[in-house]
Chain A
Amino acid sequence: MEKFTTHTGIGVPLRQSNVDTDQIIPAVYLKRITRTGFEDALFSSWRKNPEFILNQKPFDAGSVLVAGADFGTGSSREHAVWALKDYGFKAVLSSRFADIFRGNSGKQGLLAAELAQDDIELIWKVLENAPGTEITVDLDSKTVHCGSVVAPFSIDDYTRWRLLEGLDDIGLTLRHEEDITAFEATRPAFKPTTLPART
């Protein structure tokens, strides 16, 4: 995974709460078997509307999405994170993220930064009054700069460390393979196995 320390890019105000993953990427795109190439799928229903924010310049070139509360609810599809990344987003700011979406983001190097709703509102105003304003997201100091707004954000320390270091989760876990093997030796016999198959 690529390291994430700081990113500066155009902010995109998405004034909507409960943006579920079916909206971020509709199910029809989930039939693909690749991990890349989902940029066309991002918000595909909404992008048919010419007034949608990503159809307007300069927001179409944005890389920091500023969304309402409860972003990424619903389906566990990691495709939602892939679509945001493939489009060019590096960070999403919201006052509350769905758990699975936040987890998926951390695995893929997309920064899910949790801000106070009041700060989100201030940033929305800046972006709407001066479209094209850039946002700087600094993971080291856990702050967001947008025009005159400077706001702290929260992210759990473990995810932050992994993003800063660009560490692969599986590799980290396999450092403890002996612990896994030792645990397996203590699993009781009554726990089910799928093989051999019984039907």
Chain B
Amino acid sequence: MTEARIAGRRSAGAKTLAEKVWEDHIVRKGEGTGDAAQPDLLYIDLHLIHEVTSPQAFEGLRLAGRPLRRPDLTIATEDHNTPTLAIDKPIADLTSRTQIEKLRENCREFGVRLHSLGDANQGIVHIIGPQLGLTQPGMTVVCGDSHTSTHGAFGALAMGIGTSEVEHVMATQTLPLKPFKTMSINVEGTLRPGVSSKDIILAVIAKIGTGGGQGYVLEYRGSAIRALSMEARMTICNMSIEAGARAGMVAPDETTFEFLKGRPHAPQDADWDAAVDYWKTLGTDDGATFDAAVDLDADTLEPFVTWGTNPGQGVSLSGSVPSPEDFGDENAKAAAERALAYMDLAAGTPMKDIRVDTVFLGSCTNSRVEDLRAAADIIRGRTKDPKIRMLVVPGSARVRLDAEAEGLDKVFMDFGAEWRFAGCSMCLGMNPDQLAPGERCASTSNRNFEGRQGKGGRTHLVSPVVAAATAVRGTLSSPSDLPPRSEPDTGSPLADPALLGQPAESPYAESTVS
């Protein structure tokens, strides 16, 4: 019944996933057509909030005397500037502390559910939505953060927005949006061992460029995508924005349903059946057309790494630093010259000869338990390069607890890595986790912009297993470059957690929200 009612909103004809979700949320169709068309007014199912892009929006509501329309479709957490050490102490940085306190005040005043530092459900905003089961197929999800595209892995239309739009959603639970074009990213074949979804998305961005997705919603399709876990799909959708796309999506399937079933906010009983019936209507119809299409071969894909200062400046890890002369376009040539100077790299240098100082395993791109597990599998029984500093920052407090239950914390700490508390951390260096000027980092995050991880810091974007292998060798490395282990591999996850003894007492409180 419900399914028919929602689907009844849709116009006739074969449609893509993105078009269906769009049509199912039109509150009011914009008048006019083509360039003169007014935007459609779209209903927003879930609004995620954090401390950095919300204070000015709350202030706007207050000044206009407007209420927050749907606190029950809104959830907040603290992630961008929170410390990853000593979370039980007041935040040392005064401006960070003020911003966090402002969020707490605002959430109290407007009745918004908040997961604060120290709460077992605190974490990076794009980790906690899926973890709580709040992100579901066919939803519209927004957040004042460009990596909101992550939630598209569930077949949701999920977009990053600016603070004015945050205020707009708070006040109206809608957004006026112009329809996007659609692009199919078709990835066929089977990934080889040591190659992951991070390599797929880095290769896609290198192929279409940082502006290649501009104006599009990307849909990732094909046998290689279908074979991926939800975590791996989230990694891909997360970086859609780095190709300039407003959103990236994967059609929901059994993998999606399996991930959601039993999560705290997943539908239950009859609602579950109705939801699944609806979710099954969302996939792109046979015969639907995309405005653009890109193909990628998974069989031949190698681990990928960036050499420059935007995510499109990447090569296979087995390749070399390119020369500006390799670029035909004058602007690309100038950009490459500038990037090589900033990164202090010489053209022709094999990527695997590049020595790094720091390895960062974390961020909304790659900080879920699966990512930590994959990295732990590489380092277990191996020795860290003594000069490398390695930070492991779980995406959420829950991820940290789950990882500890598997003994992954012990694997990282035995290796010599730092096991931190959850947050955005060194991905953008708003908290004390930053690179020093000139420091070089292999990072599982999403942006290698100048100064992103700390002023003067140099970033190479990599997958979790490449990050781990790099921590062993000290130079950018793939797992296949590693020497045999110094002791037998005990397998993963550790077979019997009881053998590890009881985990240390948890610093987390169970949720205190009402």
Interface residues, chain A, with chain B CB atoms under 8 Å away? 15-18, 20, 22-23, 26-28, 30-35, 45, 68-70, 73-79, 81, 96, 98-100, 103-104, 107-108, 156-158, 169-170, 172-174, 176-177, 179-180, 183-184, 186-199
Contact = CB atoms under 8 A, between A and B. Distances in A.
Contacts of B331: 17, 68-69
A90 to B, nearest CB: 17
Contact of B162 (A33, A78, A196): A78
B450 A190 contact: no
Nearest to A32: B95
Contact of A20 (B73, B246, B430, B449): B449
A31 B244 contact: no
A107 B176 CA distance: 11
Contacts of A79: 163
A95 to B, nearest CB: 10
B511 interface: yes
B53 A76 contact: yes
25 contacts: A18-B335, A22-B452, A23-B450, A27-B452, A31-B52, A33-B55, A33-B56, A33-B98, A33-B99, A74-B241, A74-B242, A76-B146, A77-B52, A78-B53, A78-B162, A96-B214, A104-B164, A157-B32, A169-B164, A170-B171, A177-B172, A194-B71, A197-B513, A198-B264, A198-B265
B387 interface: no
A188 B281 CA distance: 15
B449 A74 contact: yes
A195 B214 CA distance: 35
Nearest to A154: B35
A190 B274 contact: yes
A107 to B, nearest CB: 4
A99 B165 CA distance: 13
A105 B162 CA distance: 9
B39 A158 contact: yes
A100 B146 CA distance: 8
Contacts of B295: none
A135 B108 CA distance: 48
Given A188-B5, A194-B74, A197-B513, A73 B210 contact: yes
Interface of B: 2, 5-6, 27-28, 30, 32, 35-39, 41, 43, 45-46, 52-53, 55-56, 59-60, 64, 66, 71-75, 80-81, 93, 95-96, 98-99, 102, 113, 120-121, 132-134, 136, 139, 144-146, 160-165, 167-168, 171-174, 176, 178, 210-211, 214-215, 241-242, 244, 246, 264-267, 271-272, 274-275, 278, 310, 331-332, 334-335, 338, 428-430, 447, 449-452, 455, 510-511, 513-514
B280 to A, nearest CB: 13
Given A192-B265, A199-B264, A99 B430 contact: no
A199 B98 CA distance: 27
A190 B276 CA distance: 10
Nearest to A23: B450
Given A73-B210, A197-B513, A23 B449 contact: yes
Given A20-B310, A170-B64, A188-B6, 13 more contacts: A18-B210, A31-B98, A45-B455, A75-B145, A78-B144, A100-B162, A156-B35, A157-B37, A158-B39, A180-B27, A190-B275, A194-B265, A199-B264
B386 to A, nearest CB: 31
B271 A190 contact: yes
A158 B164 contact: no
B120 A70 contact: no
A187 B174 CA distance: 14
Contacts of B27: 176, 179-180, 183
A180 B132 CA distance: 27
A18 B310 contact: yes
A173 B246 contact: no
A45 B418 CA distance: 29
Contact of B174 (A31, A34, A103, A173): A173
A73 B278 contact: no
Nearest to A155: B35
Contacts of A169: 164, 168, 176
B75 to A, nearest CB: 4
A78 B56 CA distance: 10
A73 B430 contact: no
A181 to B, nearest CB: 10
A194 B36 contact: no
Q: Is the interface of A mostly helix, strand, loop or mixed?
A: loop
A31 B37 CA distance: 37
Contacts of A158: 30, 37-39, 176, 178
B172 A174 contact: yes
Nearest to B75: A194
Which 4 A-B residue pairs are closest in the complex by CB-CB distance? A107-B164, A104-B162, A78-B162, A33-B55
Contacts of B266: 192
Contacts of A176: 27-28, 41
A173 B267 contact: no
Contacts of A31: 52, 81, 93, 95-96, 98-99, 430
Contacts of A33: 55-56, 59, 98-99, 102
Contact of A78 (B164, B272, B335): B164
Contacts of B514: 196-197
A28 B146 contact: no
B246 A100 contact: yes
Contacts of B429: 27-28
A193 B162 CA distance: 23
Nearest to A174: B172
A69 B139 contact: no
A74 B168 CA distance: 22
Residue of B64, B66, B211, B450 most packed against chain A (CB within 10 A): B211
A35 B146 contact: no
Contacts of A192: 45-46, 133-134, 136, 265-267
A133 B37 CA distance: 36
Contacts of B53: 30, 76-78
Contacts of B52: 30-31, 77
A156 B510 contact: no
Contacts of A156: 35, 178
A45 B2 CA distance: 54
Contacts of B95: 31-32
Contacts of A187: 43
Contact of A81 (B43, B93, B162): B162
A100 B161 contact: yes
Residue of B35, B75, B146, B178 most packed against chain A (CB within 10 A): B146
